[in-house]
Amino acid sequence: MASAEEHYERLLARHYSWMQGGHAFQVPACVKQFDSLGLAPKSSRRALDLGCGSGFQSLALAQLGFDVVSIDSSAVLLDELRAHQDTAQVTTLLGDMRDTSLYSGRGPFEGVVCMGDTLTHLSTFSEVETILRSVRANLEPDGTLVLGFRDLTRELTGIDRALPVRSDADRIMTVFLEFEPEHVNVHDMIYVRENDAWTFAKSAYKKLRLSADRVAALLREIGFQHVEHSMARGFSTIVAW
């Protein structure tokens, strides 16, 4: 079983944006989401994107007027972010978001986002708690935190564990899930057509089964006065300030 970093290096990074619908779809959707949440620059204009991937949220925050620090452990995805960047408002940093020294000297931040299933890539809830406590310490007093992650608390059984991800004329991606008490073993499989021939690649890694209620309770415990949770298409969104 690969680590999350190894899994992205072996397989997922080069297909990540495609499987999500691409920048042309995702960036405007993120702008709309953040706007609906009232996430707009009011003071320092500094924002932090933890586990930024190829930059959907980072580029949306920049469009809204933030100066963004974007951290990810995949050089491939950071290169893709920079290829779509048309302003100097995004600073990309290659590294593990668990290393708080990457961003602690660059704040405090008016807004912090950690989305796209990033939190489920952590190994334990203790790691989630450590990161969220660090984020709280690096937020401005009236700063806003937005979390997004897939709800894996409901266990799938039988053939329901095999799920389509996305397909087009040249790529077909599916996933198979194996549920454990605290984790899900995620088996990503993808066929790619090149020069009229199909190739097959596969890799597997673990995701953490996070409860939105448990995360929300932690946020209140560490000092957030307002915590709101919503669910759409299997993803939890938590906003705290």
- Domain spans of the chain? 4-152+210-240, 158-206
CA 116 from chain centre, in angstroms, equals 3
Where are the strands (E) in 125-216, listed by range? 139-150, 162-167, 171-179, 183-194, 197-208
19 phi and psi angles, rounded to 5 deg: -65, -20
pTM here is 0.94
Residue 86 confidence (pLDDT) above 90: no
Q: Are 162 and 176 in contact (CB under 8 A)?
A: yes
> Percentage of residues in the chain with pLDDT exceeding 70?
100
**Cα separation of 208 and 224, whole Å?**
23
Q: How far is CA 17 from CA 21, 22, 219, 239, in A?
A: 6, 5, 30, 24
Q: What is the pLDDT of residues 92-125, one digit of tens each?
A: 999 999 999 999 999 899 999 999 889 999 999 9
For position 230, what pLDDT does the model report?
Answer: 95
Is residue 97 within 8 Å of 116, Cβ to Cβ? no
| Helix or strand run (H / E) with residue 49 | strand 46-50
CA-closest candidate to residue 148, choices 46, 67, 230 = 230
Q: pLDDT tens digits for 133-188?
A: 999 999 999 999 999 999 999 999 999 999 999 999 999 999 999 999 999 999 99
Q: In this predicted structure, what is the pLDDT of residue 88? A: 79
Residue with tokens 């409860």: 211
| Cα separations in angstroms, 88 against 16, 48, 68, 103 | 24, 15, 9, 18
Look up the CATH number of domain 4-152+210-240: 3.40.50.150
